[in-house]
Amino acid sequence: MHLLAHSLENTGIGLAVLSDPDSIAYYGGYWNYLGMEFGRPTLMIVAPGQSPVIVTPLMESEMCAAMSWVGDIRHWTDGGREWRDLLIGLLGGAAAGTCIGIEQARLPNVIAAEIRARLPDRAVADIAPLVAEQRMIKSSDEIAIMRQAGEVAISMMDAAADAIGPGVPEYEIALAAMQAGTRRAASMLRDPQDRHVSPLIHNLQILQSGTDTCMVHRRAAVRRLEAGDPVYLCFCGMVSFRNYKLGFDRQFFVGRVTEEQARIQEAAMAAQRAALATIRPGIRCEAVNAAAEEAYATAGFSPGYRTGRSVGMSLLEAPELKRGEARELRAGMTFAVDGGITVPGKGGGRIGDSIVVTEDGFDYLTPYPRDMKVL
């Protein structure tokens, strides 16, 4: 928090409004409240030389006080002016001419409109790049948590693989993964100190089988597996431990694999291997992506999507491993690194792992077999 306040001061921003729930979790240690999807914003106000303030609904204030180190928690209730006067009072109390920092892409329109209408003379600056920069390099404590998230992810994949077989409906595989992940997460938590950390793995499982593996993000449905099916599982959006997320993907085959299926899957795995082989500090993100794209081309395929994205408290952080991303890798960055091929109407080949960049290369956060697996 001191680093954020110092950065605000150095850039001439007098105070900032954090509205991204992941930013509030990162700086304030408070998450898992109901937010704007229910019309109830939680905001964090940060100003150089002052104690931060969290603005949250009354119904969430007890949990906020229990979870966050922030001592000044201002609550509001449904109806009337709700959060509006409270927020404007905090922002408008600063000296005239004070520039207000906002997370532009994550500031709800209703809050942005209130600030513009009530404080029309105040300059506004986007602090999202500054926040992204500070969250980019993970601390040793963060990396330790992400390794635990990797353990959760591996338990999920093992359980999913055990559930795969002819006649099994896709949703049963997803249920097996969710239960195993929840139990593994719970085994690493203790009561009462972890009472505000839920072990529950949830969200809609990305899972397709058969020719539907060409539909990259189709969710698990009632289709029953058949012999010879590829089965693709993606845990992006599901794996979360202490609010840290990972990317982790595998594709399995039921009973047998055809030469063409094997060729597609091997090309995807080769692209991921090529990308991983380049990872070390000082390499540009776009060069990692270029290595994967060269592998695709050698195998006669085109890339279906970027090679990777940064992961952490958010599902998507900066930087990304894609064309045009010139930022250089640094030790402590964490990425999901993918190989992915889509053959329209027929299927695909996919693999994905999360890694942390080290001083001389990288370590896996999801240390799991990366060979072709026939179950």
Maximum pairwise Cα distance, the chain: 71
CA-nearest of 172, 277, 163, 287 to 222 is: 172
CB 336 within 8 A of CB 236: yes
Tell me if 171 sits within 8 A of 220, measured CB to CB.
yes
pLDDT of 68 reads: 97
The pLDDT of residue 94 is 81
Q: Please tell me the predicted confidence (pLDDT) of residue 2.
A: 84
137-374, CATH topology level: Creatine Amidinohydrolase (3.90.230)
158: exposed, middle or buried (C-beta count within 10 Å: 0-12, 13-18, 19+)? middle
Tokens 């063409």 found at: 260
Looking at residue 74, its pLDDT comes to 98
Distance CA 33, CA 57 (A): 9
Q: Where do we find the tokens 């603005």?
A: 55
pLDDT of residue 97: 81
Say what the pLDDT of residue 109 is.
97
User: In 100-139, where does DSSP find H-type helix?
Assistant: 109-118, 128-136
Instruction: Indicate the SS3 state at residue 43.
Output: strand
DSSP 8-state code for residue 351: E
For residue 106, the 8-state DSSP code is G
Choose among 47, 67, 54, 58: nearest CA to 19.
54
Task: Report the C-alpha gap between 5 and 15 in whole angstroms.
Answer: 8
pLDDT for residue 308:
98
192: preceding bond cis by omega (within 30 degrees): yes
pLDDT along the chain (375 residues), means of 10: 90 95 97 93 96 97 97 97 96 87 97 96 96 97 98 98 98 98 98 96 96 96 98 96 97 98 98 98 98 98 95 97 98 98 96 98 98 97
Q: 2-135, which class in CATH?
A: alpha beta
Instruction: Give the long-range contacts of residues 52-60, CB within 8 A, separation 24 or more.
Output: 52/1, 52/27, 52/28, 53/90, 54/24, 54/28, 54/30, 55/83, 55/86, 55/87, 55/90, 56/30, 57/33, 60/33, 60/34
Helical segments of 33-108, H only: 58-67, 84-92
* Ranges in the chain annotated CATH 3.40.350.10: 2-135
Cβ-Cβ contacts under 8 Å for 189 (sequence gap 6 or more): 197, 199
Q: What does the pLDDT read at residue 76?
A: 97
**Cα→Cα distances 225→154, 163, 165, 214, 261, Å:** 22, 11, 7, 16, 16
pLDDT reported for residue 256: 97
